[in-house]
């Protein structure tokens, strides 16, 4: 029983991080039909920026997180103005966007390595402090991540469904042509999408660094395919589906370590479990968990 509670809690923590990162990727695809291969690098950048501010400069940790999110938004804004907007005006095709997105990721990685190095880093938090709960040991950092990540997920869902810009994003994703002629400010929608994606990527990076206890410049790159798996699992282009897909994938990956599953899957094989789950779901529901007629945002 204690093992089940332990892995269930771990799965919720991992799944909430996956959900935050996945929804940023899904929003960009939904609005711009762009697969953001630099999403993992925004994760890494967010973690390193927070480390630099909170550990090197000894600023308040939560204040450092906010600055890191603003930095992610700033980089996204810059890339939108100097790169993506011009590509859209020139009617760049899918292949061109794919190559440019890959190129952005390949450029960001050496920049992050140059700025922050390749050494393993960790935040100034006590990762050993735990609480006992029905035989399971719950780390304080995991508990904090779960609380704040769950709050972030709720805010994302409310923003998309209730805020004016969220409704405009949904309208543009469903029918770009109709949204353009109905008075929706397309540039504003696109910019908001990039800003949200950049902020969520940085936030997910901080949460992942806290949960891992330590991180290096390859953290985001190693998780990128798992994030894409969560997006596809929840139905690509559906932000709500990405939230559900991330949570579901995190739970499956952690629960697979229970002894009842062939003696427990080793932790280093968890990415294999993620893609095996994706393949099994797509065999029976090729459109993803939320179906073909899922919401676009």
205: domain CATH number is 1.10.3470
Instruction: Please give the pLDDT value at position 294.
Output: 45
CB 9 within 8 A of CB 138: yes
3-state secondary structure of 142: helix
- pLDDT band at 261; cut points 50, 70, 90: low
Residue with token string 């922050």:
116
Q: Judge whether 184 lies within some domain.
A: yes
Q: Judge whether 115 lies within some domain.
A: yes
Find all residues with CB under 8 Å of 198, minimum gap 6, and list them.
Answer: 24, 42, 69, 72, 73, 74, 75, 76, 77
Q: Judge whether 87 lies within some domain.
A: yes
Q: Judge whether 295 lies within some domain.
A: no
Find all residues with CB under 8 Å of 252, minimum gap 6, and list them.
Answer: 11, 273, 274, 277
- Identify the sign of the CA torsion 137, 46, 156, 173: negative
For residues 46-65, average pLDDT: 92
The domain in which residue 62 lies consists of: 2-284
Total tally of structural domains belonging to the chain: 1
3-state secondary structure of 121: strand
Quick: pLDDT tens for 154-210: 888 888 888 888 888 888 877 777 777 777 888 888 888 999 999 999 999 999 988
**Distance from C-alpha of 281 to C-alpha of 275, rounded to nearest angstrom:** 10
For residues 22-44, average pLDDT: 87
> At residue 295, does pLDDT exceed 50?
no
């Amino acid at each position: 029983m204690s093992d089940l509670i332990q892995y269930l809690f771990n799965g919720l923590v991992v799944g909430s991080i996956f959900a935050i990162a996945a929804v940023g990727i899904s929003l960009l695809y939904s609005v711009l039909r762009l697969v953001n291969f630099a999403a993992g690098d925004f994760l890494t950048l967010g973690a390193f920026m927070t480390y630099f501010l909170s550990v090197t400069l000894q600023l308040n940790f939560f204040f450092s997180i906010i600055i890191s999110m603003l930095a992610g938004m700033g980089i996204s804004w810059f890339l939108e103005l100097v790169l993506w907007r011009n590509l859209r005006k020139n009617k760049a095709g899918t292949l061109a966007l794919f190559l440019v997105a890959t190129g952005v990721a390949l450029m960001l990685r050496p920049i992050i390595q140059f700025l922050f190095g390749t050494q393993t880093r960790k935040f100034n938090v006590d990762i050993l402090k735990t609480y006992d709960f029905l035989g399971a040991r719950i780390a304080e950092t995991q508990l904090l991540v779960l609380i704040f990540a769950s709050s972030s997920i709720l805010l994302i869902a409310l923003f998309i469904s209730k805020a004016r810009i969220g409704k405009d994003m949904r309208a543009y994703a469903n029918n770009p042509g109709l949204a353009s002629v109905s008075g929706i400010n397309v540039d504003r929608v696109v910019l908001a999408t990039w800003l949200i994606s950049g902020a969520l990527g940085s936030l997910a990076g901080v949460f992942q660094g806290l949960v891992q206890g330590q991180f290096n410049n390859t953290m985001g790159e190693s998780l990128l395919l798992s994030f894409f798996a969560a997006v596809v699992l929840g139905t690509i282009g559906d932000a709500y589906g990405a939230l559900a897909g991330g949570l579901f994938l995190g739970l499956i990956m952690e629960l697979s370590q229970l002894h009842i599953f062939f003696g427990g899957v080793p932790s280093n094989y968890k990415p294999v479990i993620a893609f095996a789950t994706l393949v099994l779901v797509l065999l029976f529901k090729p459109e993803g968990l939320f179906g073909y007629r899922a919401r676009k945002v």
